[in-house]
Amino acid sequence: MKKHLIRIIISSLIYAIAFLVPSDILWLHLALFLISYIIIGGDVIARALANIKNGNVFDENFLMGIATIGAFLVGEFEEGVAVMLFYQVGELFQDYAVRQSRKSIADLMDIRPDYANVKRENELVRVDPEDVKIGDIMVIKPGEKVPLDGIVIEGNSMLNTSALTGESVPRDIEPGNDILSGCINMNGLITARVTKEFEESTVSKILDLVENASNKKSNSEKFITKFARYYTPTVVIIAVILAILPPILFKGETFSDWAYRALSFLVVSCPCALVISIPLSFFGGIGGASRKGILVKGSNYLEALAKTEIVVFDKTGTLTQGVFNVQEIKPENISKDLLLEYAAYVESFSTHPISLSLKRSYHKEIDNRRISEVMEIPGHGVTAIVDGKKVIAGNSKLMEQEGISCYQGEVIGTIVHVAVDHVYAGYIVIADEIKIDAAKAILNLKSSHIKETVMLTGDNRITAKKVADILGISKAYWELLPTDKVEKLEELLKQKTEKGKLVFVGDGLNDAPVLARADIGIAMGGLGSDAAIEAADIVIMTDEPSKIATAIKISQKTLRIANQNAIFAIGIKIGVLILSAAGYASMWAAVFADVGVTFIAILNAFRALNVKNL
């Protein structure tokens, strides 16, 4: 690049001197221009010749060579050199812009760990992460990146996961916790056992996804490549016609004038600005999204996301925590603690999420000797003998069967009635909590002009309605089995317009068929979950549903930039073509329409990388 700059400077100096030489010494004048031209354009001509030998005629070098040599031949010496100079300056800028964007992409990918400290025969050795095997013991010092996925066996620390999740709040870790490669250890010394090889580790998977995402091309990219394939030959053919026909057909038109116009045409015929700026916009958008902890698996998905009309959410685990908790304890004639104790005991052998939440809420150890004759009645509840008393815990159907009258009101969540020795003792309400940013997520979606938000759930009507109301979701469907969800989605797909897209958001675990059926499937909480990453088109690394609106905003911005670039580049090129055919535009304008436009388009595409305020 420095060489390039020096050549430009020397050539411009000689070019300037040529103007100082009195123009009646024609040979000196011409010689100086020629020297200046060779210095600045020699490599272009050499490359053009090499390419012709390879059977590649219409490349940029050839077009520039022909145009400038042509300018010499029609007697426009100054212009021939100047255009080449201008072209090279443009190339320099373009080169710089490409280098900068490659660099910022490389920075983005700078989450790859360079080494791992591994214990080998009681000594700590620094090795390439690729050479580490499952079961090896690695040591991560403060400030170092976690090189491979593993499980902590010693040490407490805080991990910065922002490179993976975009989340700035550090995560506390202690022995027994899983740690993911790519996170940065902030303070303590951690010893961990490797659980995945480097190739399979989180960091490798994420890098692979982001790098290859731009290989799945969007429609606008496909359009541009196709356009470019026809554009160059068409312009070249018109240029030839322009050079030959008018001077023959019309009297008084000189060959050199029309040849000059044709040469300008050739300069504009390079499609580089188009071919580079649109993929770069998408690349920037995908890179920017990954900074926010949003993994987009292809440019095509990012493009589709910008056209979202309907967003369908799965409730449990997506809008709600997916963790059941005791919300209410309503005893009758006994104490709250005793009611919870009976419930926890009677349910203590079950692994049902509801039983687990009761045990969690009870806090104390369960003494197995106090309980006997446990009987689980599927779909109803459990009965057992606790401290010699017969305890029944379950839904209202179970109470009915046992002939016990119980509370009949409706509650949000699941109700567990308890009876002790056939006397009603009250009920406990267990519910899933709504995520903190779920309401914000729906609100942001509405402000991004999403037509409809829908919630699907296997839960009952009351819970579904309540959650939908709190969050401001326009439609909710309840009591759906997994297969019903696919059917509902089919129905919703029919409701959108032809161009609009339907997004389904789930946890990626139980809803793979629905994720696959939607136009775009988004999985939440992808960090550390290979299944979610596998099933979805877009993965939100954290548990925040508000990131969906962020992703849509990023996609809209990216598409806007890509469209601007396409319109700008095609517009300027066609404008300059028309002007130069009419004889109003000089070759300068033509060079601008080539390299100038490319440079500006790259700079514009660069903006896609900036997602700070989205």
With contacts defined by CB under 8 A, name the span among 155-163, 279-287, 334-342, 411-419 that binds another protein. 279-287
Among 56, 100, 219, 234, binds another protein (CB under 8 A): 56
Nearest distance from residue 54's CB to another protein, in Å? 5
Nearest distance from residue 181's CB to another protein, in Å? 20
Q: Does 283 bind another protein (CB under 8 A)?
A: yes
Spatial contact of 332 and 426, defined as CB atoms under 8 Å apart:
yes
**Smaller CB distance to another protein: residue 399 or 605?**
605
Nearest distance from residue 250's CB to another protein, in Å? 35
CB-CB neighbours of 365 under 10 Å? 7
**Smaller CB distance to another protein: residue 275 or 535?**
275
Q: Does 55 bind another protein (CB under 8 A)?
A: yes
**Smaller CB distance to another protein: residue 5 or 134?**
5
With contacts defined by CB under 8 A, name the span among 128-136, 268-276, 323-331, 509-517 that binds another protein. 268-276
Binders in 100-129 for another protein, by CB under 8 A: 101-102, 105
**Smaller CB distance to another protein: residue 105 or 262?**
105
Spatial contact of 392 and 419, defined as CB atoms under 8 Å apart:
yes
**Smaller CB distance to another protein: residue 270 or 319?**
270
Q: Does 587 bind another protein (CB under 8 A)?
A: no
Q: Does 279 bind another protein (CB under 8 A)?
A: yes
Q: Does 211 bind another protein (CB under 8 A)?
A: yes
Question: Dihedral sign, CA of 312, 315, 316, 321?
Answer: positive
Spatial contact of 386 and 345, defined as CB atoms under 8 Å apart:
yes
Among 242, 276, 442, 551, binds another protein (CB under 8 A): 276
With contacts defined by CB under 8 A, name the span among 195-203, 274-282, 371-379, 441-449 that binds another protein. 274-282
Q: Does 51 bind another protein (CB under 8 A)?
A: yes
Active site residues: 314
Element (H, E) at 127: strand 123-127
Q: Does 212 bind another protein (CB under 8 A)?
A: yes
Per-residue tokens: 393: 């815990």
- Tell how far CA 596 is from the center of its chain: 30
Cβ-defined contacts of 488-492 (< 8 Å, 24+) = 488/456, 489/312, 489/456, 489/514, 489/517, 489/518, 490/517, 492/310, 492/312, 492/454
Phi and psi based region of residue 135 (left: phi greater than 0; alpha: psi -120 to 50; beta: remaining): left
Q: Cα–Cα distances in Å, from 384 out to 71, 340, 344? A: 100, 15, 11
Query: 504-543 mask for another protein (x: CB under 8 A)?
Result: ----------------------------------------
Q: Does 60 bind another protein (CB under 8 A)?
A: yes
With contacts defined by CB under 8 A, name the span among 11-19, 122-130, 265-273, 467-475 that binds another protein. 265-273
Phi and psi based region of residue 347 (left: phi greater than 0; alpha: psi -120 to 50; beta: remaining): alpha
Task: Return the bridge partners of 426, or none.
Answer: 331, 418
**Smaller CB distance to another protein: residue 58 or 407?**
58
With contacts defined by CB under 8 A, name the span among 208-216, 317-325, 414-422, 493-501 that binds another protein. 208-216
Q: Are strands 308-314 and 414-420 parallel, antiparallel or unpaired?
A: unpaired
Per-residue tokens: 378: 């599927």
Torsion of CA 45, 48, 50, 56, to 10 degrees: -170
Spatial contact of 152 and 191, defined as CB atoms under 8 Å apart:
yes
Amino acid at 436: I
**Smaller CB distance to another protein: residue 100 or 372?**
100
Q: Does 215 bind another protein (CB under 8 A)?
A: yes
Among 271, 394, 413, 525, binds another protein (CB under 8 A): 271
With contacts defined by CB under 8 A, name the span among 44-52, 169-177, 347-355, 414-422 that binds another protein. 44-52
Nearest distance from residue 515's CB to another protein, in Å? 23
Residue 584 burial class via C-beta count within 10 angstroms: exposed 0-12, middle 13-18, buried 19 and up: exposed
**Smaller CB distance to another protein: residue 59 or 332?**
59
**Smaller CB distance to another protein: residue 54 or 351?**
54
Selection from 207, 202, 176, 201 nearest residue 191 by Cα: 176
Nearest distance from residue 271's CB to another protein, in Å? 6
Selection from 194, 208, 209 nearest residue 146 by Cα: 194
**Smaller CB distance to another protein: residue 385 or 574?**
574
Among 275, 471, 532, 539, binds another protein (CB under 8 A): 275
Describe the chain by its helix, strand, coil percentages, rounded to 5: 55, 20, 30
Amino acid at 443: L
SS3 378: coil
Nearest distance from residue 525's CB to another protein, in Å? 28
Nearest distance from residue 55's CB to another protein, in Å? 7
Nearest distance from residue 212's CB to another protein, in Å? 7
Among 47, 307, 451, 465, binds another protein (CB under 8 A): 47
Nearest distance from residue 535's CB to another protein, in Å? 21
Nearest distance from residue 175's CB to another protein, in Å? 37
Nearest distance from residue 215's CB to another protein, in Å? 4
Angstrom distance (rounded) from CA 139 to CA 87: 54
**Smaller CB distance to another protein: residue 37 or 283?**
283
Rg (CA), the chain: 34
Spatial contact of 322 and 507, defined as CB atoms under 8 Å apart:
yes
Nearest distance from residue 198's CB to another protein, in Å? 15
**Smaller CB distance to another protein: residue 228 or 404?**
228
**Angle value at C-alpha 334, between 329 and 335, nearest 5 degrees:** 60
Among 17, 50, 73, 323, binds another protein (CB under 8 A): 50
Report the b/e string of 105-140 with b at 16+ CB within 10 A: beebeebebeebbbeeeeeeeeeebeebeeebbbbb
Binders in 220-259 for another protein, by CB under 8 A: 225, 228
Report the b/e string of 223-242 with b at 16+ CB within 10 A: ebeeeeeebbeebbebbeeb
# residues contacting another protein (CB under 8 A)? 25
List contacts with another protein (CB under 8 A): 47, 50-51, 54-56, 59-60, 101-102, 105, 211-212, 214-215, 225, 228, 270-272, 275-276, 279-280, 283
